[in-house]
Chains A and B, each alone.
Chain A
Amino acid sequence: MYGGGNIFEVNKSDNLNQEDPVKLDEFEARIARGEKVEPSDWMPALYRKQLIRMIEQHAHSEIIGALPEGTWITRAPGFKRKMALMAKVQDEVGHAQLLYSAAETLGKSREQMMQDLINGRSKYSNIFNYPAFTWADSTIISWLVDAGAIVNQLANSKGSYGPYCRALERICAEESFHLKYGHHAVIHLATGTNIQREMVQGALNRWWPPMMHFFGPPDKISVHTEVLTKWKVKMATNDECRQQFLDMYVPKIWELNLTIPDPNLRKNSETRQWEYSEPDWDEFIRVINGDGPCNAERLSVRRTAEERGEWVRKALLTKEAKYVTPLA
């Protein structure tokens, strides 16, 4: 998803006993050979269910993710930033559109997904439940959150479901522009005036903890997902993604003379793994269950947009047949 930390739940009722064993074998053999699964192909019910969940969460993350940055479009300083941020956030909405279409190929309608989002039945990336206080927050989001998203999405683009992989390839290409834009904007702040430097350090301080939450709980306490790994639904573990992110971006942050607010952050030269203070996973769970600083606001903005737009969607379903013929 836009951000990792997908919430996979494998329930007892999700057992595979009801599946036709011959078809299941054939399905798994195809995936093992690296073939893609297409919408009309046979697939186990659990595969369908988990994919819908994952793609839907990703789509929701794109549309909700447009909100914290979207509020800075009207305040972006200067033409260059204003136009770049507009294009960036528009892309995110476009990603949502692509992903809802990919999820629809599995049998769930966009309207139904939107309803589930608004009712709190389905999740989106936790990171968007935090506020973007300053312009610098929006630039840190464009840089680091998009960077995290790329780590995740590149892994997922090698997955087994054809429509999702194809959507992700297009999305990743655009995300890399977002990352460039974000990095550029952060560089200007970090090498700018005192006010600008303080602003960006403050933003980094605020966004670092949610960024460490971004890829989800550590593997040792995550739900086991062997079957999803075998089916190439889940392509990398949370810790693998987090390590990759740290490896790529910590040096770049340090290069800018910014301080990462974790005194224990270092790369262990023997294990070649990053070590860091354990993020507060209780907070993560609390926020993902609805009790973060912005959960209510994000959902209410989305709900209001849906309600205000309902008449438009309804009217567009009507056939354009009732033209009044001009009299003369």
Chain B
Amino acid sequence: MKGNQSQSALKKLLYNIADDLLILGHRNSEWTGIGPLLEEDIAFSSMAQDKIGQSLAIYELLHQLGEPHPDTVAFMRNANQFHNCQLVELPIGEYQFSLVRHFLFDHSLLLRFQGLTDSSYEPLAQVSQKLVGELRYHVMHADSFIRQLGTANEDSIGRMQTALDIAVPYALGIFEKSPEEEQIISEGIFTGEQNLYDAWCREISKTTSLTSLKLPELNPEQAITGGRQGKHTKHLQLLLDEMAEVFKLEPGAEW
């Protein structure tokens, strides 16, 4: 990695990824104690723990590149400084929404990290190698629940279909390109959002085709974007206020 320009492109990509992970991990942790069955309660918590741990790993990379300490970055920024896609910041809603979001997002995440194992930025390639192993289980979990609940009975199929219809336009926002996109690709940091999007479409339709669910038409023009540029729904600031409520009482203190 050379030159300031490519470093800022690299950082932008890392912030996109880390912020997605932190915010979705935070959301999924909200199921703790109130899951639809104990086994799912536990599963959502363990995936949330993995995601927050993964976000930390990426914030550490950023820290090595000169960004502030991970705690500061995570707990002291405001919504307009976050680069996550809007999909991950939406409230958990009912279980079907959280599950569908988990399915749509985690497929993109696994593919992203699989791609990043070849990144020209060696530290990122190494971290990705490690995370791919964890993420396979998340995707397996999502797929098996989508298959089960997407075929079980009219009621469950109906609920899942509604959630899918609501979530897909937000999921298309995962692939929103940054102004640095071309550079990210030419520097070999990542193969790019378009590539990722194509692979993602194939993967999610493989799973939904085994169910009674109808995948809405995947039309990039319907993508709900803005997240990557710091534009968010009102839910993100509320989430961040809650997350930092204690931390900000005494920002310099050790907790």
Contact = CB atoms under 8 A, between A and B. Distances in A.
B149 A82 contact: no
B250 A193 contact: yes
A75 B36 contact: no
B45 A93 contact: yes
B29 interface: yes
Contact of A320 (B39, B52, B151, B250): B151
B37 A313 contact: yes
Determine the main DSSP class of B at the interface with A. Answer: helix
- Residues of B in contact with A, size category: 35 or more
Nearest to B212: A324
Contacts, number: 157
Given A77-B255, A83-B53, A314-B153, A93 B38 contact: yes
Contacts of A89: 32-33, 45
Interface residues of A, number: 51
Interface of A: 63, 66-67, 70, 73-83, 86-87, 89-90, 93-94, 96-97, 100, 135, 185, 188-189, 192-193, 195-196, 301, 304-305, 308-316, 318, 320-324, 326
Nearest to B27: A74
A324 B211 contact: yes
Interface of B: 26, 29-30, 32-42, 45-46, 48-49, 52-53, 56, 70-71, 74-75, 94-95, 147-149, 151-153, 155-156, 159, 209-212, 239, 242-243, 245-247, 249-250, 253-255
A189 B41 CA distance: 30
Given A63-B38, A90-B42, A75 B56 contact: no
B35 A77 contact: no
B253 A309 contact: no
Contacts of A305: 33-36
Contacts of B46: 90
Contacts of B147: 320, 323
A93 B35 CA distance: 10
A185 B253 CA distance: 13
B94 A308 contact: yes
Given A192-B250, A312-B95, 18 more contacts: A70-B33, A75-B243, A75-B246, A79-B52, A79-B70, A81-B255, A86-B45, A86-B48, A90-B32, A93-B32, A93-B33, A93-B45, A193-B253, A305-B35, A312-B149, A316-B149, A323-B210, A324-B211
Contacts of A100: 38
Contact of A76 (B56, B151, B152, B246): B246
Contacts of B52: 79, 82-83, 86
